[in-house]
Amino acid sequence: MRETPISDELLAWYDAHARVMPWRVGPQDRAAGQRPDPYAVWLSEVMLQQTTVAAVRDYFRAFLAKWPTVRDLAAAEDADVMAAWAGLGYYARARNLLKCARVVAETHGGVFPDTYDGLIALPGIGPYTASAIAAIAFERPETVVDGNVERVMARLFDVDTPLPAAKRELTGLAAGLTPLQRPGDYAQAVMDLGATICTPKSPACGICPALRHCRARAAGRADDLPRKTPKAAKPVRRGFVYVARRGDGAWLLERRPDKGLLGGMLGFPSSDWSDAPAEAPPLDAEWQAPGLEVRHTFTHFHLLLELRTTLVSAATKPDRGGFVPHIEFRPADLPTLMRKAYDLASGAFAEN
């Protein structure tokens, strides 16, 4: 790792054009003596996994307002954290968030380890997140490689090997450019470059600070890189989702098992999700089939759930889950899949 013309030019560009983000200490703030809060860096990096910056901003602010320190988050109720996470997706991240916060609070005295090895030993922190926190929060010269960085490296060095096979090569190239000085700002500079200029389609090469170093641009191949191995088509799973409402407005909900998709989240009871699901209503009632289907896509498959609805009396006892009074029911606390079911069911109830 060393200072190079590319890293110097990217840092100069970052000093002038860094994106403003609620978790980031920008170049001017650093110059004034402000340092990143490891807790804020960690929280943002976990939230940003497989999610966009635009989607994360409000969640980050809300989390920090409710739980301003890692000790506060460690002391939070699991259900409160899961509800605050609802809609952000990939719910295993929220469970690991709590596990990690509690280890930091209980084992490390509320202070995050300041090295890659110490960070990667924490629950839910993998190689990318450990590198990002070490570089950004603690100025360790770790190599931070996300999708933006892979794209920038593939174009800078005209790497023809398709992803994901090219990951090791691209990481090695990124390591060769990572400077000993200001590695955190440099990591964010490359990510900003990929997000704003070296974009997946129609990169703005004319204003790129690394233009004179870009081999793919010189070869007329920037738009074609990085190459990717075609993905197999996602399979489709099916099932049934059951939305029951009492006459007093209460809704039937159940908490899903901690392990698996939507683990630990509240939602409407459903059948299994498979190629040939069997009906599995959570109570004995006259279930209606309004001909509506909840459609949702997970990382590895598409899900289609046939909607079933019913109105029941206050004396009804479910076999699974429990009725939540209308005054305590907050659709916003449901994961996106279940909010879709709620929206469809609300329309079906209104028509009957």
Active-site residue, selected from the candidate residues 45, 142, 150, 306: 45
Q: Which residues, in sequence order, are CB contacts of 250 under 8 Å at separation 6+? A: 314, 323, 324, 325, 326, 329
CA 7 – CA 142 distance, rounded (Å): 14
Q: Which two tokens stand for residue 122?
A: 């924490």
CB 232 within 8 A of CB 28: no
**What type of residue sits at position 105?**
A
Which one-letter DSSP state was computed for residue 224? G
Q: Can 45 be counted among the known catalytic residues?
A: yes
For 139-184, give the DSSP string: --------HHHHHHHHHHTT--SPBTTTHHHHHHHHHHH--SSSHH
Q: Is 17 exposed, middle or buried (0-12, 13-18, 19+ CB in 10 A)?
A: middle
Residue-wise burial string across 219-240, b where 16 or more C-beta atoms lie within 10 A, e elsewhere = eebbeebbeeeeeeeeeebbbb
Residue with tokens 């279930």, as numbered in its chain: 287
Which residues are designated catalytic? 45
